[in-house]
Amino acid sequence: MPTPTLAEVPMSDGSLPVGVERREFDGTERLATRGEPVYGEPTDGEWRAWNPHRSKLGAMLALEMETGLSGGESVLYLGAASGTTVSHVADFAGPTYAVEFAPRPTRDLLEAGAPRPRLFPLLADARKPETYGHVVESNVDAIVQDVATRGQARVALENRRFLDDDGRLLLAVKARSEDVTREPAGVFDDVCATLEDGYELLEQRRLEPYHEDHLGIVARPR
């Protein structure tokens, strides 16, 4: 079945962080933040559209998951890649630490961060938080994780040390990165069971129609 277009997936007036709005671009209501464009997204003055088909967190917001984000919070973003999503986060959040392992996308991430004084790109491995623990502040308000690797739950558990006791983990689990041979539902069950070693799971939702075989999870530390 073809993926629905943005116009075919209406978004209602659910709660959004301050600094994120639903605005009209070319006749279609879309999420948007204020900031310099990064990936060729449509703009309207200082506002730029946030494409949930290219952003797991954008999909979570479009699907009205209760992320706990209110705007202005400190964020540790794991798996920042070239900055598509984390640039939107830095548009509305406070200090935003963006961890990316691969040098090539990190160069693009640096460009995305240049006009964003609250965005701090870090060339580091999210599986080894001790390598950036001296840079990231303790007790961040949110961890946003989009790391396409085996052991995604373990990455979240290893980085739990940075999260405030009342903070939120916003995790996008990619089933095919865990095990391409298994059914996604079984993979998601295993990831959730592992996460419960350190987190209380508050909400889980498949991210279709925006991302196939992905699960969005909202959790808080135990």
- pLDDT per residue of the chain (222 residues) written in tens, 0 to 9: 333 343 333 343 457 999 999 999 999 999 999 999 999 999 999 999 999 999 999 999 999 999 999 999 999 999 999 999 999 999 999 999 999 999 999 999 999 999 999 999 999 999 999 999 999 988 999 999 999 999 999 999 999 999 999 999 999 999 999 999 999 999 999 999 999 999 999 999 999 999 999 999 999 999
For residue 23, the enclosing domain spans 6-51
59 among the known binding-site residues?
A: no
147 among the known binding-site residues?
A: yes
Nearest to 163 by CA among 121, 127, 198: 198
8 among the known binding-site residues?
A: no
Decide if 16 is inside a domain. Answer: yes
Beta carbons within 8 Å of 138's beta carbon, 6+ residues apart: 161, 162
Query: What tokens were used for 212?
Result: 């196939």
Same domain, 117 and 165: yes
Same domain, 83 and 44: no
Decide if 29 is inside a domain. Answer: yes
Instruction: Give the H/E segment covering residue 184.
Output: helix 184-195
Name the H helices within the chain.
56-62, 84-92, 103-113, 152-158, 175-178, 184-195
Decide if 56 is inside a domain. Answer: no
pTM: 0.92
